[in-house]
Structures are given as structure tokens and as C-alpha cells.
């Protein structure tokens, strides 16, 4: 047997207890890059020489009957995953990537609340993977190399259409999913979710944006059309020849690395692009599509902007900001007014990298869009609405050498029995107890939630006696994390509490850390919405 658990058992016996307990004060996580081949230093390439690509809007290929009610015809889309060559920078040869519908990121799915669609996700990939599979992982042991299954992140979707990690399929197969879209306007995204290789498939390019619209949003007269632009930000490592490089550890049979950080920052698939804009308001739908990198975005000239929405939709009112942070999978909806910046070139930057450049034209323009002072109503959920509180630990295990070897949720493996079984339409509080040195962005499928608070605590007392010693007051979420969310950063040495109405379909879903390297190495668990 080569199951993950057996592998670990064997190792710990052989080494006389190789694994230390969940990381507390005992071991620090190492962020050092493993031994790796030469990579291209992306900062040697001239920035801002390529225009920002805007992924095409997905086109429906007609109407099809719903399998469940054959008299109802709904728009049908077919998106095929294929190997493609993508020109990511003027001075580089095209890079081999995998993309849906001929591009990476793939075409944007435009959806309207209340209007169901069908999407056939086809696997037209080659038989061999081009990125380093770790065959020890659950799902990657003795299975075909190339497997995909697509998840609509943030979608309230029936379980059979949610992209359950074990529902993967091989080249020349496809699955047709139904998306009822009974949810409010928001930027969702679709991405691969195949068990054990998800980090590699998304790194290869298997993701894209999905925008839900509704009447409440229409009524706001926000910037639209070419003045509404998706910005999907993701980092990659490149070989000197400009091909995607995914690093491996120095152990050939255990190639997994705990996190991927690249120095080539791509937006919509171009390295350090520029966008020509008019001196007026724009709406930017920003997604962090990176495997592990967090972004702290601001304009180099200090330009202020407004945030109007989070992962799951609009805020009650715009928030004026100079800086916004995004963990992997998080989204923000921003209004940027270039009206006072005529003729300027403004860089959008992260703490350590330039991300892209905006070139504002000089002439006067007429901007008829609005930034209303009130947006939509977002009822704040009260703690008293919750019928249950679950205490859930985020666990990281290290070897004696200090290397991270495994991450778990509540000390449980993927294949352990399901322990989280919320009742449909009930509300629960989930408390993420994080003794590790990392923020883990925790995502729940099928639902939206609100962040209640975060509080510093003393990990050792909790580990030894299951006793909470809090080291400070409960902190409310950051302004940019208020409103409805589907992914929340559970910060290091803190207890992060979210409140979740399980208003979705009954059935099996998953919850996991959205650092993709963690997710693939057991930081993902099934959960089940049960009927009351
Ligand atoms: Cu972005 Cu399990 O999802
Ligand atoms: Cu999801
Ligand atoms: Cu994590």
C-alpha cells in the first residue's frame, strides 16, 4: 500500500519519529526555495511593453435541454482544455500552457442571476503532464497523469456539478455541469480541482473568470463595457527559455514543494503589461489566481481608489482605500478614477514587484458612469443566529530537518470519515485555530460567509490542554474583507471565526486551504450539507 498515511507511518517508524507535532513554537516553516534549475530573472525583461490582454467572453453554442427537465432549454457552452502556446512577453518565445477555449486564462463566463446555464468541460489535453507530479499524493497514486475536473469557485452549485476532486476524468472525456446561478452579482472564477495535481493544473493555466450580474447591480450604473476590466494576477517561474517552470524538492521521489513563489507576475497572461485608459472611472475585477503568493496592491503614485465589492459581491457602500491585500483565490471589485491623472503613467504595484502600468490619455472625456454612495444591502449576520460552533485546527507537520511534509485540517486526512455535516439552511460558526507561521486562506465550496473576527491566542496551551489563552481583543475583519466572502485568511497564531449560512444544496462538497501546494498535500477535507 502506498497511501499517504502509510507513507508517513513508515517514515516515522524508520526515522524513529520523523514527524513533529503540528507546528507551534517548535519549528519555523522554511520559505527558502528548494534546489532548482536555473530560472529566468523576470526583472531583466523590460516591463510594460505588452498591452494587457482581455480574455474573450465565452460564447454559447445554442440552447440545450436541461437533463433534469428536458422541456427547459438553457444556454449551452463548451470549454475544452487544450495545450496552447502563449506569448507572455514581447521578448520571450511562446510558453507551453494549458488553457480552456484556446487561452490562459480562459474565456470569461458572463452569467445572470436566475438564468441557468450548462457548461461542457472537455478534456482535450495530451496524455502526459509537463509539470512534476508527486505520485505519493492521494489521488495521484497509480492514476493517469492527465486528469481534470472543473470547479466554479464561489458558485452555489449542486454537488454533482461542483467539481468534486475525485470526479476527475482523462483526455477525450468531458463532463457537462449545470449552473443554476441563484446568487447575487459577484466575480467568481472557474479552475481545475483534480485530486492531488490541482496545483499543477492551475499553474499550467486551467482557470478563468466567471461574472454573475443581477438587477441590483444594473441599477447602480457602474462603469461597464470596455470600462470594466478583469485583472487576474498570478506569479510564475520561468526557465531561461521562457517556459513555465515548477520547482521540485531535492528528493526525486518526493518532489512536492510547500509553496510556489515566482518572480514573473502575470496579469491576464502577460508579464508586466500596460493598459491604455481614458481619464475617467474604471471598474477592475481583481482576482489573485496565484498558487501561494499574497498581493498587497497599491498605486505607486499613491492614487486613492474605491473598493465596491469582495469575493461574493457588492459592499453596502464604497470604501476609500490606498492599498488592498489579496490572498490566493480572493477577489476585490475596485473603482479607480483616472480623471485627475490625464497624461500620466501610473504603476500598480505589489510590496515587492511592479504588477502593471496604466497609461492615461490626455484629452478630456465624458464619463456618464456613477459611483453611488450606497450600493446594496448586506445584512450583518449576528453570532446568535448560529446553531453550532466548530473548532477546527490548521495543522502543519515538519520533519526533523525543519521541512514541511504534510498539512491537515483538524488533524484529519482527506479520506478520513466526514466530520463536518452542517444542516441545510442552518447557520454555523467555524473557528479556524492556526498554530502555524503562515496565513492559510480557507475556502468553503457552495456557500458564502462573513468574517466575524480574529484573535491572537497562545498555541501551546491549546495544543497541550485544549485551553484558549487569548493574547488580545477580538479584531474585526479589515474593511476590505467585510461583506460576503468565500475565502478568508486564517492568520498565524490567531483564531479566525467565520459565520456561515449553509443555504445551498444538500450533498458532499469540500473545504480547504487555497494555497494550492497545501491543498494538494492533504489540507482539504470533504464536508456534507445534510437535510434537517
Ligand atoms: Cu477555488 Cu475548492 O476552490
Ligand atoms: Cu470553490
Ligand atoms: Cu495553507
Give the ligand 1 atom nearest the CA of 153.
Answer: 1
Q: Taking a C-beta distance cutoff of 8 angstroms, is the pair 471, 424 a contact?
A: no
Report the predicted TM-score, pTM, of the whole model to 2 decimal places.
Answer: 0.93
Across the beta sheet with 274-277, the strand order is 274-277, 354-360, 345-349, 295-299, 324-326
pLDDT at 18: 35
Beta strand 440-444 with 354-360: parallel, antiparallel or unpaired?
unpaired
Q: How far is the CA of 480 from the centre of ligand 2 (A)?
A: 20
Q: Which residues contact 335 (CB under 8 A, 6 or more apart)?
A: 222, 223, 281, 282, 283, 284, 305, 306, 307, 308, 318, 371
pLDDT of 36: 53
The reported pLDDT for the residue numbered 509 is 98
Which stretches in the chain have pLDDT values below 70? 1-37
Decide: 195 and 252 in contact? Cβ < 8 Å.
Answer: no
**pLDDT score recorded for residue 67:** 86
Q: Which of 312, 293, 305, 87 is nearest to 212 (CA)?
A: 312
**Distance in angstroms (rounded) separating the CA atoms of residues 7 and 13:** 10
Report the separation in Å between the CA atom of 168 and the middle of ligand 1, taken as the mean of its atom positions: 14
Residues facing 233 on adjacent strands: 267, 288
For residues 42 and 89, give the distance between their C-alpha atoms in angstroms, rounded to a whole number.
10
Contacts of 135 (CB under 8 A, 6+ apart): 141, 142, 253
Ligand 1 center to 202 CA (angstroms): 11
pLDDT of residue 362: 97
The finding on whether 445 has its CB within 6 A of some atom of ligand 1 is yes
Residue 293 Cβ contacting ligand 1 at under 6 Å? no
Residue burial 137-158, b: 16+ Cβ < 10 Å; e: rest: bbbbeebebbbbbbbbbbbbbb
The reported pLDDT for the residue numbered 110 is 98
- C-alpha cell of residue 416: 478520513
Secondary structure class of 409 (helix, strand, coil): strand
Identify the pLDDT of residue 12: 33
Facing residues of 457 across strands?
A: 470
CB atoms within 10 A of CB 519: 26
Segment holding 74, helix H or strand E? strand 73-86
Cell numbers at 360, concatenated = 492615461
Q: List residues bridging with 231 in a β-sheet.
A: 286
Q: Could you tell me whether strands 354-360 and 274-277 are parallel, antiparallel, or unpaired per DSSP bridges?
A: parallel
Amino acid at each position: 500500500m502506498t497511501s499517504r498515511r502509510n507513507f508517513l507511518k513508515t517514515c516515522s517508524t524508520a526515522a524513529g519519529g520523523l514527524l513533529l507535532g503540528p507546528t507551534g513554537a517548535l519549528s519555523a516553516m522554511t520559505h527558502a526555495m528548494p534546489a532548482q534549475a536555473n530560472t529566468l530573472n523576470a526583472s531583466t525583461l523590460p516591463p510594460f511593453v505588452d498591452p494587457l490582454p482581455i480574455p474573450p467572453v465565452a460564447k454559447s453554442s445554442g440552447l440545450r435541454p436541461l437533463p433534469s427537465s428536458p422541456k427547459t432549454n438553457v444556454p449551452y457552452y463548451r470549454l475544452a482544455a487544450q495545450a496552447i502556446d502563449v506569448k507572455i512577453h514581447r521578448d520571450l518565445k511562446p510558453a507551453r500552457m494549458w488553457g480552456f477555449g484556446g487561452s490562459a486564462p480562459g474565456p470569461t463566463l458572463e452569467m445572470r442571476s436566475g438564468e441557468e446555464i450548462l457548461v461542457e468541460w472537455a478534456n482535450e489535453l495530451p496524455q502526459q503532464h509537463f509539470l512534476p507530479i508527486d505520485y505519493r499524493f492521494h489521488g495521484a497514486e497509480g492514476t493517469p497523469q492527465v486528469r481534470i475536473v472543473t470547479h466554479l469557485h464561489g458558485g452555489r452549485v449542486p454537488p454533482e456539478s461542483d467539481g468534486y476532486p475525485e470526479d476527475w476524468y482523462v483526455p477525450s472525456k468531458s463532463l457537462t455541469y449545470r449552473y443554476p446561478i441563484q446568487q447575487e452579482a459577484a466575480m467568481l472564477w472557474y479552475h481545475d480541482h483534480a485530486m492531488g495535481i490541482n496545483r499543477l493544473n492551475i499553474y499550467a493555466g486551467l482557470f478563468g473568470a466567471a461574472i454573475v450580474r443581477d438587477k441590483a447591480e444594473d441599477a447602480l450604473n457602474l462603469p461597464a463595457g470596455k470600462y470594466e476590466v478583469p485583472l487576474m494576477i498570478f506569479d510564475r517561474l520561468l526557465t531561461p527559455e521562457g517556459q513555465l517552470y515548477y520547482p521540485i524538492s531535492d528528493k526525486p521521489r518526493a518532489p512536492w514543494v510547500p509553496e510556489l513563489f515566482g518572480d514573473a507576475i502575470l496579469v491576464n497572461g502577460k508579464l508586466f503589461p500596460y493598459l491604455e485608459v481614458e481619464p475617467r472611472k474604471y471598474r477592475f475585477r481583481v482576482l489573485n489566481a496565484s498558487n501561494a503568493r499574497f498581493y498587497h496592491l497599491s498605486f505607486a503614485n499613491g492614487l486613492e481608489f474605491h473598493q465596491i465589492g469582495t469575493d461574493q459581491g457588492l459592499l453596502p457602500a464604497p470604501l476609500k482605500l490606498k492599498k488592498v491585500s489579496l490572498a490566493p483565490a480572493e477577489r476585490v471589485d475596485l473603482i479607480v478614477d483616472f480623471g485627475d491623472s490625464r497624461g500620466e503613467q501610473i504603476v500598480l504595484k505589489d510590496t515587492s514587484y511592479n504588477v502593471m502600468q496604466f497609461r492615461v490619455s490626455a484629452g478630456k472625456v465624458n464619463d456618464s458612469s456613477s459611483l453611488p454612495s450606497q450600493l446594496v444591502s448586506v445584512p450583518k449576520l449576528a453570532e446568535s443566529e448560529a446553531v453550532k460552533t466548530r473548532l477546527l485546527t490548521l495543522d502543519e507537520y515538519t520533519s526533523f530537518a525543519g521541512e514541511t511534509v504534510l498539512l491537515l485540517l483538524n488533524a484529519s486526512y482527506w479520506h478520513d470519515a466526514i466530520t463536518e455535516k452542517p444542516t441545510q439552511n442552518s447557520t454555523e460558526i467555524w473557528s479556524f485555530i492556526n498554530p502555524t507561521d503562515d496565513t492559510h486562506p480557507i475556502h468553503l465550496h457552495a456557500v458564502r460567509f462573513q468574517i466575524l473576527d480574529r484573535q491572537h491566542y497562545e498555541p501551546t496551551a491549546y495544543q497541550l490542554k485544549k485551553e484558549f489563552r487569548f493574547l488580545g481583543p477580538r479584531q474585526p475583519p479589515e474593511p476590505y474583507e467585510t461583506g460576503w466572502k468565500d475565502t478568508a485568511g486564517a492568520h498565524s497564531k490567531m483564531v479566525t471565526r467565520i459565520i456561515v449560512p449553509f443555504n445551498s444544496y444538500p450533498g458532499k462538497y469540500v473545504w480547504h486551504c487555497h494555497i494550492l501546494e497545501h491543498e494538494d498535500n492533504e489540507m482539504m477535507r470533504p464536508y456534507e450539507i445534510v437535510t434537517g
